[in-house]
Amino acid sequence: MGFQDRRYDTGDYGEGGGVRRALRRMFVEGDDFFGWSLPLFSVPRGVPGIGGIAVRIHLLYVLFIVVQLLVSLRRDGLGVHYTAAMMATLFVLVLLHEFGHCLACRRVGGEADRVLMWPLGGLAFCRPPHRWDASLITTLGGPGVNVVLVPVLGGALLAAGAGWDALIFNPFDPRSVLLSGWFTEYWRIWLWSAYFTNLVLLGFNMLLPMFPMDAGRVVQEVLWARIGYRKSMTIAVNLGLVLAIAVGLFALMGGTNMLFAVAVFAGITCFAEKRRLAMMEDAGPLEGYDFSRGYGGMPNVAGGGGREGGREGGGRRASSAEDRAFAAAAKRQEADRLIQVEVDRILEKIAREGMGSLTRKERATLKDATERKRGSSPVDPRGR
């Protein structure tokens, strides 16, 4: 049963903690794969650039960690302590990468409020202004963190006594570095592994131009500046689909399960983006959208621009019906997202404190969301 099937004035929403709610979403509601997650922590609001960002962990990631730790208990394994250290290191590196996206997004005037950690990496929920340059800066913020970490971790290796051969090595046979006599203790192996893992994350994101990899978004955003949003997205998602198939076949031939999983996820993501494009093309025109101000540039929004003020990123007039149609679809998607964010917050409050903790306004919000979900009332584009 989804939230739209419940009555919030009678309190039939079951109470329970985060695990119980996540399991209910997975097996009962089951309509949001990325909703199968647990809250980890929120960055304190006083932290510059990333304050207030909520970090969640997917249940599949929890399962993945448990399996990896169990496998490490084998006699011929590296040991549970080393495996746990590397899992924690990978988690931190990916999280820092996602924080880089969020920080860059906020610096260009966008919004970023959530990061989801899951087995194939991380997902930063960023909403930069609808301009190619703002989107490109947001995308490059993640790999930028990995670039900064290269000299940091490399310098740590050199300071610990490792040679330059530990920093500059054959990428097709990286583990040959470990044959050096310097790697006599686990902490040294761990330090080099952190350096190597950071390089892998950087290369993986910037050498595979397919969604949701950063390279795929960079290709789309660079093309966006020259040929417009719709055409750039069409080219990027089609290129991503072709590459996902190629990478998947390569992974199958090489027996690389993780790479195959990445290829499958990339293919699904590109296909979903392709469908979203088709849905946007069916949207009606929207007059007077100011592309330079993102969603704040919608007509009938306080301070929104009119037709004369509307410009797309790069200074080009956003006067075509095609661009206005995309803006209309983006507006509706943002309105739906804002409503869902508020509903999720209220549901989490119910799970923690029970139905009796809801205010009258929160009950009204859930009731309105219920009616919208059932299709009996239109979505308010201004949100709440």
222 domain residue, yes or no: no
Domain count, the chain: 1
pLDDT along the chain (384 residues), means of 10: 38 48 50 71 89 90 87 70 87 94 93 87 88 93 95 93 85 79 83 92 89 90 90 90 90 79 84 79 42 36 36 43 62 72 75 72 78 48 32
- The single-letter code of the amino acid at 73 is L
**What's residue 222's pLDDT?**
94
Q: Tell me, what's the pLDDT at 134?
A: 93
Q: Is residue 81 part of a domain?
A: yes
What pLDDT, on a 0 to 100 scale, did the predictor assign at position 18?
Answer: 54
- Which pLDDT does position 291 carry in this prediction? 33
Structure-token match 């969301």, residue found? 369
State both tokens at 82: 């080393």
Whether residue 163 is contained in a domain is answered as: yes
Task: Give the model's pLDDT for residue 155.
Answer: 93
323 occurs within a structural domain? no
**147 is written with which tokens?**
């670039």
Spatial strand order of the sheet with 54-58 comes to 37-42, 54-58, 111-118, 121-127
Residue 119 covered by a domain: yes
Say how many Å lie between the first and final Cα of the chain, rounded. 25
- Establish if 240 belongs to a structural domain: no
Question: Domain containing 100: what range?
Answer: 32-207
| 328 in a structural domain | no
Distances (CA, A) of 77 to 23, 71, 81, 127, 297: 32, 8, 11, 43, 57
Report if residue 75 sits inside a domain: yes
